[in-house]
Amino acid sequence: MKAASITDYRELARRRLPRFLFEYIDGGSYAETTLGRNITDLRDVALRQRVLRDVSNIDLSTTLFGQKVSLPVALAPVGLAGMNARRGEVQAARAAAAFGVPFTLSTVGACSIGEVAAGSPAPFWFQLYMIRDRAFMADLLDLAEQAKCPALIFTVDMPVPGSRYRDYHSGLAGASGLFGDMRRAMQAVAHPAWAWDVGVRGGPHSLGNVAPVLKGKTGIDDFFAWMRDNFDPTVTWDDLAWVRERWKGPLIIKGVLDADDARRVADLGADGLVVSNHGGRQLDGVLSSTRALPPIADAVEGRLTILADGGIRSGLDVVRMLALGADGVLIGRAWAYALAARGEAGVSHVLNLMAAEMKVAMALTGVTRVDQLDRSTLA
């Protein structure tokens, strides 16, 4: 199948990946109500069509945290993304750099900060969780600084991992030891192209940034055990102040859905926030990012840069988010699907698709620059 949309890339990823990896990317928590709302609520946002305006010169570029970008889009952090294609985070970082948008490396990516820094032609953003071991956090921040990461995304909506039923059904979680390894191996063998490209040629397999504290343990079971044991449920605003003091570059707080929390993020001195429900992967039943965004934008307008994620499956969706009050968006599943399907070329294609779709949407709403997109663009 020739991919013409992100939906097409989702299907190609489903065909190529072992089930446990596809379900990990694609799934949400519990009944996946919020996961569905992210898509449907954004799809239901109606734009105001305007005609007979000169839209012959449309500029998609903007500036995010002092960085000129060709598109108001950044690649969101995606855990284990490097298992979707051979050394996958490096491939995605190269595609993002070539297109002129930021790539964000997850704390729990398959590739380390050092590997991505060596393989990417441009600096990348880094994402961090609050971890019980503050010394290890400090080490990661030092590594990010040494790699000249221009921004830090600090994720605050994961004091504990969400309950994701699909991961149990697929054998990614809850199937430990030899039985779990055999179940996942059988799924891999059923997808020989992935098994050869990633399973055989993509080694060594480790959890990148977390590998030093795992001390040689590299299994999926080790990954989930580390997450359960090291994410910190005691985290408070005081801990966030520690991060702000430690990290001198732009700090972006990810996982904000409440206007009062957004005000506290601004008071803390953060440079940006991400309106996000973790892609519907944490607390099911909360607001979609689409519905949470406008009151947050009203609460902190002009005080910091507002990004949003959740349900973005096209350039048209990017336009909708900007019209609702975002300064830029993060895309997660969109690039993860494309990476799984076609590697670096797939990620590049998705960014080109989004740019083309944005230009059409902007032309038909009568705007020529992204800073013209606001609520007057909505029907």
- Residues in the annotated binding site for FMN: 77-79, 106, 127, 155, 254, 276, 309-313, 332-333
- Structure-token match 């990633």, residue found: 198
Residues annotated in a binding site: 24, 77-79, 106, 127, 129, 155, 164, 254, 276, 278, 281, 309-313, 332-333
Q: Rounded to an integer, what is the distance from CA 228 to the centroid of its chain?
A: 21
- Structure-token match 């890339």, residue found: 9
Catalytic residue among 169, 205, 278, 349: 278
How far is CA 361 from each of CA 49, 248, 324, rounded to the nearest angstrom? 9, 37, 15
Structure tokens at 130: 């609050």
Contacts of 151 (CB under 8 A, 6+ apart): 65, 67, 102, 125, 126, 249, 250, 251, 252, 271, 272
Residues annotated in a binding site for glyoxylate: 24, 129, 164, 278, 281
Task: Please indicate whether residue 349 is annotated as part of the active site.
Answer: no
Q: Let me know: does 186 contact 198? Beta carbons within 8 Å.
A: no
Q: Say which DSSP state 284 is in.
A: T
3 state SS for 196-238: HHHHHCCCCCCCHHHHHHHCCCCCHHHHHHHHHHHECCCCCHH
Structure tokens at 374: 């606001």
Q: Rounded to an integer, what is the distance from CA 199 to the centroid of its chain?
A: 24
| DSSP SS3 for 29 | coil
Return the exposure string of 156-193: e unless at least 16 CB atoms fall within 10 Å of the residue's CB, then b.
Answer: bbbeeebebbbbeebbbbebeeeebeebbeebbeebee
Whole-number Å distance between alpha carbons of 127 and 143: 12
Whole-number Å distance between alpha carbons of 357 and 313: 11
Structure tokens at 347: 């990620």
Structure tokens at 137: 């956090």
Catalytic residues: 278
